[in-house]
Amino acid sequence: MKSSLLLPESKLRVYPGDPYPLGATWTGLGVNVAVFSEHAESVELCLFESIDSPVECKRIPLPECTNSIWHGYFPDMLPGQLYGFRVYGPWEPLNGKRFNPKKLLIDPYAKCIARLPQWHSSLFAYDVNGGKTDHAMTIDSDLLMCTENNSKFAPLCAVVDDAFTWSNDAFPKIPWHKTIIYEAHVKGLTKLHPEIPEPLRGTYAGLGSEPVIAYLKQLGITAIELLPTHVHLDEHFLHQKGLTNYWGYNTLGYFAPDPRYAVPTEFGGVGCVNEFKGMVRALHAAGIEVILDVVYNHTCEGNHLGPTLSLKGFDNLAYYKVMPDNPRYYRDYTGCGNSLNVNHPRVLQLIMDSLRYWVSEMHVDGFRFDLASTLARDNHQVDMWGSFFDIIHQDPVLSDVKLIAEPWDLGEGGYQVGNFPANWAEWNGKYRDGTRRFWKGDKGTVAEMATRFAGSSDLYYRKTPLNSVNFITAHDGFTLHDLVTYQEKANWANGEENRDGDNHNNNWNCGVEGLTENIKINALRLRQKKNMITTLLLSLGVPMILSGDERGHTQDGNNNAYCQDNAMSWLNWKLTDQDRIFFDFVRQLIAIRKKNPVLQRRKFLQGFSVQQPDVKDIIWYNTFGEEMQSEDWVDNNTQWFGAMLNGSAINEMDNKGRWITGDTLFLLINASYKAVVFKFPLVVPQARWEVLVDTVERSGKVQTKFKGGESFRLTNRSLALFQLNE
């Protein structure tokens, strides 16, 4: 890629410019450059002629500094210009200051990373060899400054023109109670799709193509939640093993889409910005929202032994949380080496500016925040009234999009499920664990399962069921197919001798480890998958489906496939007969959820009807067709229950002030190893209960309608849903 710097160096004019906006901003007449560094002594802008250039063609000191913002204006610079920075300041690692002008740094506000870094010893600001020649890192290596220029191996930024033809693009603004989330990976979803033109497979353009959109619409998805699309760095230890960070939770730049998911062009990485926008525009046209998984808790620069690529070299003390008694080291609540210092106003500004950019310029509809508890930490303790949340709540742009927290981190007091502010949804890990335990047959779990099914009011009692993003599986862990196929994880391909990944998965292989030709085992596995996905899609709250679960995707027992950028992770679009049965089943369930208001409640069940006090909005039943009593809930031998959701007692109004009504549904659940017989309740004389869903494949003549008082034999480990027809 050639640079857009067309004038001779002698004619490159430099004016003072403005301290805002931060980054390299094309104004239509030139480029304003502004970067923050509180402790720097000077900052140089470095310009490159092409992505293959080993060194810069020009170094230009930024002429002004206003409130720790170094800035300049370049009227002769154009979009596409390749650039980086060198920052001068004290090298005092013991005091947390790690300035090294030998290291080319990327702009923290770069909207495009046109060249990715190549692992080399020069990427580190310190001497990785500790001044020795045997390439053996010593304990004090990070205290010695490295004098090797890294410009040949460092990443390069490119100036971006934000202009894009959005046409009549509009944010779908799908309400939470009608949202069905599909968690997916840009490359994994599209890489093997036979109907996508081969050059577009694995790309943003592929994700926005007609075959993928048609599939999502056919399934009934309303929002796609993408694993990180911010440009990221593959960790050095993975590079040494010949692996990559497939998931992407190792952010290099918070404004730039990862160019690895873009169609290669002669313009290098610049085209990926518009390609990303085109993907969003296409999904919006189909009524599908785009939610980004974002990682603002840490960066790819790691701990004191990590590389220096951006923030660490601009101002280590400002950007990262360091140990107060020894600033050489970092506070690490993420297990990734560092934690961003969200208590610093400029770091908080970086995060907010990034979020607003992705909404305002890239038109995304929301964010899922990785390890969000780290963002809530005020110095050390988790504080849900902290500055990060305050500023989002009052922001006119961000307060109007979907905000989802992964409500935990690895630090003390980091597990915060149920504690995030009211306008945040949360990944409900207790829903996942409770549902898995129930369906694998753990005793004493029926009360918790009912609580999770009803929206987890124990966690969100001051909020709504819609604060709970319910899920059985996610990218991190077993797929749904593997959850019922493997008892033990099989992460050998990760190169860590199977030590990585969670050892406690609440999974059950149905009696045989791995693949089998046993017909009964396979039938049970299919039924268990149906049981769990049905529970998910009938529960109050917001359901999230892992991409591929609806098709029987397997990772061969790997429950930590973060470094498997291959067919293990890529979605296989060839369906077996059993996979097709399950896909059709999931599609039917989503359609049922969308049709029935009783499954889309915005408020918790109250036990009564506002309009008819003697009518209950939900009744829990035992096998005798009677209301469950307290002794039923605490009986460890009880692994089943019935629940009637009354369509005439939804207790909610529509936008025109009319009471919402719908069909009355009756759910029967049996997680035990034996069949149980349920009696249908007597609700309305002459009414019939009609089967909508049965997770058991039944043969012969099957009864599908039942009167009140009649019995239904609920097979072991199965679920059935009925609709009342009066």
C-alpha gyration radius of the chain: 28
**514 touches 152 (CB < 8 A):** no
d(CA 609, CA 78): 65
SS3 699: coil
- One-character DSSP codes across 179-208: --EEEE-HHHHHTT-TTS-GGGTTSHHHHT
370 in active site: yes
Half-sphere exposure of 646 (CA within 13 A, CB side): 24
CB atoms within 10 A of CB 332: 20
- Among all chains, which residue has been given the structure tokens 């499954």? 599
- Dihedral sign (CA 212, 214, 219, 221): positive
Structure tokens at 413: 């007091």
CB atoms within 10 A of CB 461: 11
d(CA 258, CA 251): 10
Structure tokens at 447: 């009360």
Print the SS3 string covering 565-619: CCCCCCCCCCCCHHHHHHHHHHHHHHHHHHHCHHHCCCCCCCCCCCCCCCCCCEE
SS3 564: coil
If residue 285 lies in a helix (H) or strand (E), which one and from where to where?
helix 271-285
497 in active site: no
Nearest to 725, CA basis, from 680, 695, 694: 680
d(CA 354, CA 292): 12
SS3 225: strand
With 0-12 / 13-18 / 19 or more C-beta atoms within 10 angstroms meaning exposed / middle / buried, residue 608 is middle
d(CA 720, CA 712): 10
Among 142, 234, 370, 448, the one annotated catalytic: 370
Cβ-defined contacts of 523-527 (< 8 Å, 24+): 523/697, 524/484, 524/717, 525/481, 525/484, 525/485, 526/578, 526/581, 526/582, 526/697, 527/695, 527/696, 527/697, 527/717, 527/718
Structure tokens at 355: 């979020």
Structure tokens at 29: 């007449």
Nearest to 43, CA basis, from 11, 69, 17: 69
d(CA 405, CA 425): 6
Whole-angstrom CA distances from 153 to 52, 78, 308, 389 are 10, 24, 12, 38
Among 44, 127, 315, 406, the one annotated catalytic: 406
Whole-angstrom CA distances from 613 to 83, 138, 607, 658, 661 are 69, 74, 9, 18, 16
**Positions marked active-site:** 370, 406
